[in-house]
Amino acid sequence: MAITIAVVALVALNAYVLLAGADFGGGVWDLFATGPRRADQRALIAEAIGPIWEANHVWLILVVVLLFTCFPPAFSGLAIALHIPLTLMLIGIVLRGSAFAFRSYGSSDDAPQRRWGRVFSIASLLTPLLLGVCIGAIASGRIGTMLDQIVRGAPSESFASLYLLPWLSPFTIAVGALVLAVFAFLAATYLTVEATGDALREDFRRRALFAALAVFVTAFLALLLARSRAPRVSAGLIASVWALPLHVLTAVAAIGAILALWFRRWHVARIAAATQVSLILWGWAAAQAPYLVPPSLTVENAAAPRRTQLIFLVTLALGALVLFPSMTYLFRLFKSSRRHETVPTGRNDSV
């Protein structure tokens, strides 16, 4: 049963990456909006994420709640060891969300608009980086080692070696860069589907292709550094029986996404990109299994009492019954191909 719940956690994380990740990526492209159509680019991004970002954001909360309900030692351990990067990430989340709302609903004067846009986009850039750093720190296994030290009460260790160095290394930064690249790639690819005109679509096609390259480079770098910094995950990704099929599938999806972008098959590109990103995530999880926080907390030994797990799964099933129809409704309403009728004036017109 604990395995089922761990899989659910991964599904929720996957949803967060594919949905909210693209919202963050949108913020990144807001920062890098350039050329004659920069205002249109920003308007398209704002229109794309406006109605959905809060719902997408809830996936993260679901992951957190799931973790502390079903794997409490893992939650409290991560919260201790990753206190600093998580706090920084939260500040990013707060600034991203509120700046976006302030820009969308606040005064329509130019200067505050631009100021909030800047806060929104910079926070959108930093938050994924920190998320990636946290994931990299877990994968590296150094968090787990440090936790064992804290529990044993290691007074001789310095603050930095307990709370700073375990998550700050070239490897974790590479994973941070990978997550950022992935989010930017997803956003640009989705935006090619949602763009209202051909010129705008070409803007995002170029961005998507560029981001695909960045994903490739950062993924390669992370994998390279993993050999010395995250040996367990690295070994899993290289030596397991499933390693080869996984890499082949990921490569097919990646090349498929690039080809689809190249030949302007926007919908195909969107699916291929989402598949590629999901495979990267599941590859990490499979390589790290059965550990939640290597080297000591596993899915089994960190699990909550069976009764809690059971009730949690029932709750989840009931919740899903409400959630999925509502989610579908939301996306049908705002993401279907009605875009060509409405003019994206960006803000204020819809409320």
Partner 1 sequence: MGDLLAARSQMAVSLGFHILFAVVGIAMPVLMVIAETRWHRTGDAMYLELAKRWAKGTAILFAVGAVSGTVLSFELGLLWPSFMRFAGPIIGMPFSLEGFAFFAEAIFLGVYLYGWERISPRAHIAAGTVVAISGAASALFVVIANAWMNTPAGFRLQSGSPVDVDPIAAMLTPAAFPEVLHMLLAAYAATGFAVAGIHAMMLLRDRRNAFHRRALAVALIVGVPAAIVQPFSGDISARYVARWQPPKLAAMEGQFRTQAGAPLRIGGIPDVHAERTRWALEIPDGLSLLAFHDPHAVVRGLDAVPRRDWPPVPIVHVAFQVMVALGTYLALLGLWIVLETWRRRDLAANRWLMRAVALASPMGFLCIEAGWTVTEVGRQPWIIFGVMRTSDAVTPMPGLIVPFLAISALYCFLGVVVVWLLYDLVMRSPITRESDGAATAPAAA
Provide the token pair at 199.
Answer: 């010129």
Q: Which residue of 11, 31, 37, 51 would you call a contact of partner 1, by CB under 8 A?
A: 51
Q: Which stretch binds partner 1 (CB under 8 A): 2-10, 127-135, 259-267, 321-329?
A: 321-329
Rounded to a whole number of angstroms, the minimum distance from the CB of residue 64 to ligand HEM is: 8
Query: In terms of Cα–Cα distance, which of 143, 17, 128, 165 is closest to 81?
Result: 143
Q: Which residue of 16, 163, 171, 185 would you call a contact of partner 1, by CB under 8 A?
A: 163
**Residue 54 vs 202, nearer CB to partner 1:** 54
Q: Is 304 in the site for partner 1 (CB under 8 A)?
A: yes
- The label of the residue with tokens 């920062």 reads 31
Query: In terms of Cα–Cα distance, which of 55, 51, 46 is closest to 20?
Result: 55
Q: Which of the choices ligand HEM, partner 1, none does residue 150 contact, using the CB cut-off of 5 to 8 A by kind? A: partner 1
**Residue 286 vs 327, nearer CB to partner 1:** 327
Q: Is 100 in the site for partner 1 (CB under 8 A)?
A: yes
Chain centre distance of CA 104: 23
Neighbouring CB atoms inside 10 A of 271's CB total 15
Q: Which stretch binds partner 1 (CB under 8 A): 15-23, 97-105, 214-222, 226-234?
A: 97-105
Q: Is 176 in the site for partner 1 (CB under 8 A)?
A: no
Q: Is 4 in the site for partner 1 (CB under 8 A)?
A: no
- DSSP assignments along 184-214, one per residue: HHHHHHHHHHH-SSHHHHHHHHHHHHHHHHH
**Residue 93 vs 181, nearer CB to ligand HEM:** 93
Q: Is 334 in the site for partner 1 (CB under 8 A)?
A: yes
- Sign, CA torsion 165/62/69/4: negative
Q: Which stretch binds partner 1 (CB under 8 A): 14-22, 60-68, 211-219, 293-301?
A: 60-68
Q: Is 149 in the site for partner 1 (CB under 8 A)?
A: no
Q: How many helices (H) and strands (E) does the chain have?
A: 15, 2
Query: In terms of Cα–Cα distance, which of 250, 246, 179, 181 is closest to 213?
Result: 181
SS3 86: helix
> Which residues make up the interface to ligand HEM (CB under 6 A)?
54, 57-58, 61
Asked if 164 and 201 touch (Cβ cutoff 8 Å), the reply is no
Rounded to a whole number of angstroms, the minimum distance from the CB of residue 313 to ligand HEM is: 21
- Helix axes 170-194 and 38-49, enclosed angle (nearest 10): 90
Neighbouring CB atoms inside 10 A of 56's CB total 20
Asked if 188 and 25 touch (Cβ cutoff 8 Å), the reply is yes
Q: Which of the choices ligand HEM, partner 1, none does residue 170 contact, using the CB cut-off of 5 to 8 A by kind? A: none
Note the residues at the interface with partner 1 (CB under 8 A): 50-52, 54-55, 57-58, 60-62, 64-66, 68-70, 72-73, 75-80, 83, 86-87, 90-91, 93-98, 100-102, 104-107, 150, 159, 163, 304-305, 307-308, 311-312, 315-316, 319, 322-323, 326-327, 329-330, 333-334, 350-351
